[in-house]
Structure 1
Amino acid sequence: MKLNATKIDSANANVAATITTDVIATNLEKMAKQLSKTMNVAGFRKGKVPVNVVKQMHGDKLQEDAQAEALRVLFADAIKELAINPEDVIGEPAVTKYDKKEDGSIEVEVKFSVRPAIDLGDYKALIPAVEDKEVSDKEVEERIAEMASKSAPLEKIARKRALKDGDYAVIDFEGFVDGVPFDGGKAEKYTLQVGSGSFIPGFEEQMIGMKYEETKDVVVTFPTEYQAKDLAGKEAVFKVTLHEIQQKGEAELNDDLAKKMLPNEKEATLDMLKEKVKEQLKSEKMSKYYNEDLKPAYLEALVAAISFDLPQSVVSQEINAALNNEIRAMSEEALNKLKEDAKEIEALREKVTPDAHNSVKATFIIDALAKAENVDVSDQEVTQTLYYEAMMMGQNPQEVVKFYSEKGYLPAIRMSMIEDKVITKLLDSKLKS
């Protein structure tokens, strides 16, 4: 097998070769012999099937497998010749030429990408100035008052009046579609805050003005993306009976509130709660400041300052992903225009290419930064983060993790967490210096 392997640059390589008929024939013979030992063919004992019979029965498949094996060996030889670590190869090799000749030989060309070597230089010198965010006493008091209000008990209003926005309504309800009740559409003595947006759009607004023990038909339409597919987009009538109107009672700001808010602290006090809230508010402020202002600026500076060759296979994937995102967001009219004119697609590709290049470049820089700073994120940390976010959203954590795992999203989530962790570490170091 004649082979010519060359490096296009430090992140991309090309292999041109001729796979001879002898190589293919040798591979085919070897595979046929291996298969003959395991095949079950009527009239022959297992393991004693003649090779020529195997070839007659599976000739085409064996021919394909023999050629694929030749390609595999070709690629392995090219990596060895170019002194490339197999672990540095990114993605699958792209066969750009596969030309079968009359004599049975095959001329092939294969392009592949490798992880680029990156010289970060003095990356710490590019960290932007970091301002320490302060939290005022007023902000702390407002947050504690909000916490107290949410934890305050519900109390029945002193006098009977019509229901208004913000009230807590104790109701019975039953839903019907085409006059037929549906599963999950019924409840008794259910407490609903009017204006919370907890129910189907339009439901809570139609309740405003109801009086004690009044029954009313509330007509709504389920959203088209509603989770229960048999109800999505359908009109429903809910028979709603109002039993009671409640409001939040007065919340007292004292040590009892602190004990409720800090259940793991044995001797919780209001002052201790204020300190905890102040820490939380500062963390929120700094996180927002980092994510919205400093991280984008720092990444932009790194991308502009650091030069290295990009793996073209990764760049192409990023460009195609960006192109698909643009197309998905188009109107039907714009899509039709795109289909009629190939130049429009190329113009769109040119539009997304610079950002795609920078995105790929930033990803490799983050990876290099993480190695330089000894930052990593374990699979357990990814799972814990997904669990926490799922619980905050009222979702089943195990189902969320399973969904992301099956979709193949976990590596991207891990990379995002590494990015956040390493840049936060560098910004924190600037703040403390």
Structure 2
Amino acid sequence: MELQSVYDRIDDDRATLSITIKADDVNTLIDQFTIALAYQNNIAPEDGQDLAEAVTIKLGKEAVEKHLETSVMGYSFPFAAEGNHVEIVGKPALTAHGSLARDTDFSFEALCTLKPSFSLSSYDPVHITVPPLEVTDEDVERYLKTLAQSHAYLEEDTSHAEIRKGDLVELEIETFKDGVRCDQLCSESRTYTTGADMMPPDFDEQVMKMRVGETKTIVYEYPGFTLDENYEPQIEHYTSTVTAKKVQKMVVPELNDQWVRENMPDTDGVEGLRRNARETIYDRKSIEYRHYKNLQSANELVKRFDGEISPAVYEAVTADILQSFEDQLAQQETTKEDFLRQQGITEQQLMAHFSNQVREQLVRQFALDAVAEHFGLEVDDADLDEYFRAAASPGLEAMIRLDFERNGRMPEARLSALRLKANDYVTEHSIMRID
């Protein structure tokens, strides 16, 4: 992507980047984000209709233009920042200069809060105390118990024929909602747990009055998702013909040599399974142990931080965290006011919590930056791999890295990798007491 940018330092904390995207790249970005918008909203063009037209009809011209403009600026900024060696905190404030349009250069301005640099009062090794890293017999037993439970299976329970609360019952069920067959509630074989609020109370009570082999027609109702003229949920009426085929019970297998041969043929019996469990637990605990040691060393390191973080930096990061918090609430379909009411706190208390969180985060990050600068630490490709392994779920490291590369976020990844490397360095050179 071809970008032109001009860097202008405003003061100690802020700078602007004036960025221009050439027309050919504007066209490409409009196409890419239109496709993404259509995919996100499950929009497909009709015959004789192009995708942009379909998206505009479905979402509205103004909304689409605003989304594309925001997306293009947000995508392009990291590339311009990297090209100008600009490191920022929080998110930039982006202002478009003119409208985003095909076959036309597009310009915008980014107001950035710059990442400051600090030094520490000392770079001598820190002193930390950590527990020993060990795998106990209790750890192994818990692991094997969980493994056995994950291989549990159902078998018929012939100890009683009458259906009781808590039974796992295999049902054959045919259901109609307001006279129309309800496929979601029809099955030749469905395991149903009585008394577990899996179905409306009237249905549950009738099932618990049945016996194995009995067939019964159950009429019940439940509030739907639409509202009536009084803004109350409309009541939906169901009729289910139910046959109780059998009572079942969950059987947890015994992990003996025979079970291991049948289910894990490459494992040398129960003793081999125990050895594998011990190794797996050790590997998992090693990762947790590394994080714990790094946390202890970073906590000691921040005691040597005596710099003054400017209000502009605090405000930029706090605004970023607050926006992420509100986005999360929106995904949960709740508001900040509802959250405050549920938690029994005031907005001032919430902001105080965020302020403390921001300070702890910034001091730790800037202290690690100071260590990296003092000892001349640099990030190589192996360090980036290590960061993505730490940041991603197992098996997704390559995909996450590709996403960072495509979206101009590799400077962000390199900074995080450098901080992880600095934290490891401090821990490795610490004076550690095992207690």
Question: What is the TM-score with the length of structure 2 in the denominator?
Answer: 0.51
Residue number in structure 1 paired with 2:315 = 316
Equivalent residues of 1:223, 1:233 under 8 A apart: yes
Counterpart of 1:163? Answer: 163
The Cα shift of 1:354 comes to 3.7
Q: Secondary structure at the match of 1:213?
A: coil
- Do the aligned partners of 1:217 and 1:238 also contact (CA within 8 Å) in 2? yes
Tell me how many residue pairs correspond in the alignment. Answer: 324
Q: 1:303 to 1:245 in 2, by over 3 A?
A: same
1:140 aligns to 2:148 (yes or no):
no
> Do the aligned partners of 1:116 and 1:309 also contact (CA within 8 Å) in 2?
no
1:22 — aligned with what? Answer: none
Query: Which position in structure 2 is the counterpart of 1:385?
Result: 393
Q: Offset at 1:242?
A: 1.9
Equivalences for residues 240-251 of structure 1 within 5 A: 240-249=242-251, 251=253
- Please say if 1:376 is aligned against 2:384: yes
Please name the residue that 2:258 is paired with.
256
1:358 paired residue number: 360
Q: Which residue of 2 aligns with 1:330?
A: 337
**Highest relative contact order (Cα 8 Å, sep 6+), 1 or 2?**
2
How many angstroms does 1:169 deviate by? 2.3
Partner Cα distance (1:122, 1:313) in 2: 27
* 1:86 and 2:93 are equivalent in the alignment: no
> What amino acid sits opposite 2:280 in the alignment?
Q
The correspondence of residues 296-307 of structure 1 with structure 2, limited to 5 A, is 297-307=296-306
CA distance in 1, matches of 2:254, 2:428: 37
- Cα distance in 2 between the residues matched to 1:139 and 1:125: 33
Structure of greater Rg: 1
Q: Is the 8 A contact 1:127 1:427 kept in 2?
A: no
Asked if the contact 2:163–2:247 (Cα under 8 Å) also holds between the matched residues in 1, the reply is yes
Q: Secondary structure at the match of 1:330?
A: helix
User: What is the Cα deviation at residue 201 of structure 1?
Assistant: 8.2
Specify whether residues 193 and 285 from structure 1 end up closer, same or farther in structure 2 by C-alpha distance, changes over 3 A only: farther
1:274, CA displacement in angstroms?
Answer: 0.8
Change (3 A) 1:425 1:318: same
Q: Is residue 2:185 matched to residue 1:185? A: yes
Relative to structure 1, is the Cα distance of residues 380 and 166 closer, same or farther in structure 2, using a 3 angstrom cutoff?
A: farther
CA distance in 1, matches of 2:165, 2:222: 21
How big is the shift at 1:269?
1.6
- State how far apart, in whole Å, the 1-side matches of 2:356 and 2:255 are: 55
Gaps of 5+ in 1: 16-75, 97-109, 225-231, 339-343, 390-397
User: Structure 1, residues 358-412: CA drift from partner, whole Å, max 9, x if none?
Assistant: 32343455667789485324898589727679xxxxxxxx9x9999999999999
2:46 corresponding residue in structure 1 = none
Contact 1:373/1:422 (8 A) holds in 2: no
CA distance in structure 2 between the partners assigned to 1:258 and 1:208 by the alignment = 38
| Residues 16-27 of structure 1: pairs in structure 2 closer than 5 A | none
- Equivalent residue of 1:212, what SS? coil
* Distance (whole Å) between structure 2 residues aligned to residue 416 and residue 5 of structure 1: 25
1:186 counterpart letter in structure 2: C
Output aligned runs, 1:16-95, within 5 Å. Answer: 86-90=84-88
1:273: which partner in 2?
Answer: 273
User: Could you say if the C-alpha distance between residues 170 and 331 of structure 1 is closer, same or farther in structure 2, counting changes exceeding 3 Å?
Assistant: closer
TM-score, scaled to structure 1: 0.51
Conserved in 2, the CA contact under 8 Å of 1:177 and 1:234? Answer: no
